[in-house]
Each structure stands twice: as C-alpha cells, then as structure tokens.
C-alpha cells in the first residue's frame, strides 16, 4: 500500500506530465494554424516581408516547463518555497533534484490556536475533517502533525499525546494498517513551564505494520499543552532506519518551537 506521501507525489508527477503534454499539443496546433492562415498564405508574398511569429525552440521548452510548475504550485498545498515546487517538477520528469532549502518557517495562522516552526522544504496541509495540521517531507517521510483531542477523564496528558500521535484521528483513513502503541516503559516524559503554560515533552518509539506485512518503525518527539479541556499536541517523527543526529536536532527544534496561544 502506498503511503499518503508517496501517493500524493505520484499524483502530482502524473498531473505534471499530462499538463506538459497538453501544453505541447496546443503549441503545435497553434504553429500549424499560423502557417496555414498567415498573411503570406496563398498570395505569393515573399517570406522576407512577413513577420515570423512561430515560437522558437526556447519558447516551446519554457512553455512546456512552466505549465506543470504553475500547476504544481497549486497542488503542493501550503508550500511557497521555490525549491520545493521546482523539485516536484523535476521528480515528475525523473530528473535530478536540487538540494532542499534550509532553515525554518513560522506557521502562525490567525485561525489556529497554536504556532510552530517547521523545515522550509516541508509541505503543509490541514488535517481532514478535524483540527490541526500535517506537515511532511515527501522525499524522506519525515513528518510532524498537530492534533487537538479532549483531555481524558484521568487527566493523563502523556497517554493522550502518544495515542494522538500513533493513531491520529482515531485511526481514520488507516485502512488495514495495524498501529501499535509503545509499551509504557519505552515512553519518557518531562514537563516545563513556558510563557506561563505547562508543556509536557514526550519521546517514544512507534510501529506500524502495513497490510502488506511491512513493519515501519519511527522515533517520535512530542509536546502537549492543555487549554480549556483540550489537549493540543504536536508529534514530529522520522523513520528509525533514516534517523541520525541531524534529524534529532531538527525534530527537537520543531517540538521546542510549539506554542499554544
């Protein structure tokens, strides 16, 4: 089963190829029309006296390349990073990609009850039919998500954060994947007061067994804050087989940047 990231990348690449093909066909038809209906047609006018408005090869290539770029600008929701958009086009044509943009961007939407910083090259999209956002790197499957869930009756914020991270949206859209909560002894947590609010920081491993039998293990870094009976929790994670010190620093930066208004 394709992951959401892989599926979206495949769809955008296919759309880019289709758009480019249509653009080339339109340009070709336009060229034929100009040749048959131009001022010199049928009147014996010397070619040297007419203006040649046939697109050059350079113009043709620019049109073919620009069309999917504009289209992907709309499809790659939440990304205005030029390198990210350009790499989406290059991936669609099977071409080598440019190095990703570095640094972080601030997510500070007045409609959201939280703010955070995320890697500039990652793509943002809202959660489906619920509060929160999902931000990811399509190339590496690194991701972060923000979930808003009711505070449990027992007040266990750590359990709420871990459950929301491993089974987002109560498992909606997971199909036959088996989502495994970590054992209690593998969950580490701490609390800290930041800007007048109490934040709970959690680290834990997680596993997802796909319906194809693959076992995907991830390292998770989460933070949670309670406001008006709701738990606002952010989880940033990376696949265990791709995890390193640089990714740990990146994920911790994202978690530490999280603030509830």
- Which tens digit of pLDDT belongs to each residue from 37-50? 555 444 444 444 44
97 within some domain? no
166, part of any domain:
yes
Sequence-separated (6 or more) residues with CB below 8 Å from residue 15: 68, 71, 72, 75
Count Cβ atoms within 10 A of the Cβ of residue 128 and give its class: 0-12 exposed, 13-18 middle, 19 or more buried.
Answer: exposed
What are the DSSP E strand ranges found in the chain?
A: 104-107, 114-119, 123-126, 133-136, 143-150, 178-180, 188-194, 197-209, 215-227, 230-239, 259-260
Task: Give the phi and the psi of residue 212 in degrees, each rounded to 5.
Answer: -85, -5
Residue 66 belongs to some domain of the structure: yes
Reference 238, options 224, 249, 248; nearest CA is: 248
What does the pLDDT read at residue 129?
85
* Residue 151 forms part of a structural domain: yes
Alpha helices in 101-222 (DSSP H): 157-166
Q: Do residues 198 and 76 both lie within one domain?
A: no
Q: Let me know: does 174 contact 256? Beta carbons within 8 Å.
A: no
| Residue 148 and residue 72 share a domain | no
Residue 85 and residue 79 in contact, taking contact as beta carbons nearer than 8 Å: yes
What does the buried/exposed string (b/e) look like for 46-68 if buried means 16 or more CB atoms within 10 Å of the residue's CB? eeeeeeeeeeeeeebeeeebebb
Query: Is the domain of 26 the same as that of 150?
Result: no
CATH code: domain of residue 132? 3.40.1000.10
Residue 65, by phi and psi: left (phi above 0), alpha (psi -120 to 50) or beta?
alpha
Whether 63 is in a domain gets the answer yes
Assess contact for 11 and 4: CB atoms under 8 A: no
Q: What is the pLDDT along the chain (261 residues), one digit of tens a residue?
A: 444 444 444 554 555 555 555 555 655 565 555 555 555 444 444 444 444 555 565 555 555 555 554 444 444 445 566 666 666 666 677 767 566 567 999 999 999 999 999 999 899 999 988 999 999 998 899 999 999 999 999 999 999 999 999 988 765 555 556 788 999 999 999 999 999 999 999 999 999 988 888 899 999 999 999 999 999 999 999 999 999 999 999 999 999 999 999
Q: Which residues are paired to 226 by β-bridges? A: 231
Tell me, yes or no, whether 109 and 225 share the same domain.
Answer: yes
Q: How far is CA 40 from CA 9, 50, 55, 142, in A?
A: 47, 7, 17, 60
Residues 24 and 127 in one domain: no
- How many domains does the structure of the chain reveal? 2
Q: Does 136 lie in the same domain as 36?
A: no
Q: What is the pTM of this model?
A: 0.65
Residue 99 lies in a domain: no
Position 98 in a domain: no
Whether residues 130 and 217 fall in one domain: yes
Are 87 and 152 part of one and the same domain?
no
**Domain shared by 138 and 74, yes or no:** no
Residue 78 and residue 171 share a domain: no
82 shares its domain with 172: no
237 and 120 in a single domain? The answer is: yes
Using alpha carbons only, what angle is made at residue 179 by residues 173 and 181, rounded to the nearest 5 degrees?
135
Tell me, yes or no, whether 232 lies in a domain: yes
Range of the domain at 190: 104-260
- 237 in Cβ contact with 219 (< 8 Å): yes
Instruction: Give the pLDDT of residue 251.
Output: 98
């Amino acid at each position: 089963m394709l992951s959401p990231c892989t599926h979206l990348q495949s769809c955008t690449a296919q759309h880019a190829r289709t758009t480019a093909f249509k653009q080339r066909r339109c340009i070709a038809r336009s060229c034929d029309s100009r040749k048959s209906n131009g001022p010199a047609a049928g009147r014996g006018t010397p070619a040297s006296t007419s203006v040649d408005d046939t697109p050059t090869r350079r113009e043709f290539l620019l049109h073919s390349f620009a069309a999917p770029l504009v289209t992907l600008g709309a499809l790659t929701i939440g990304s205005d990073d030029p390198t990210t958009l350009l790499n989406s086009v290059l991936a669609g044509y099977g071409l080598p990609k440019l190095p990703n943009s570095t640094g972080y961007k601030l997510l500070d939407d007045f409609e959201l009850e939280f703010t955070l910083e995320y890697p500039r090259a990652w793509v943002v999209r809202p959660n489906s039919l619920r509060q929160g956002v999902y931000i990811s790197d399509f190339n590496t499957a690194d991701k972060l998500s923000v979930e808003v869930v009711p505070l449990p009756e027992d007040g266990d914020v750590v359990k709420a954060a871990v459950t929301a991270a491993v089974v987002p949206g109560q498992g909606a859209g997971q199909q036959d994947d088996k989502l495994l909560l970590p054992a209690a002894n593998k969950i580490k947590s701490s609390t800290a007061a930041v800007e007048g609010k109490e934040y709970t920081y959690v680290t834990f491993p997680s596993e997802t067994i796909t319906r194809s039998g693959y076992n995907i293990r991830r390292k998770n870094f989460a933070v949670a804050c309670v406001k008006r009976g709701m738990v606002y929790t952010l989880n940033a994670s990376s696949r265990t087989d791709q995890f390193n010190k640089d990714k740990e620093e990146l994920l911790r930066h994202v978690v530490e940047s999280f603030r509830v208004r």
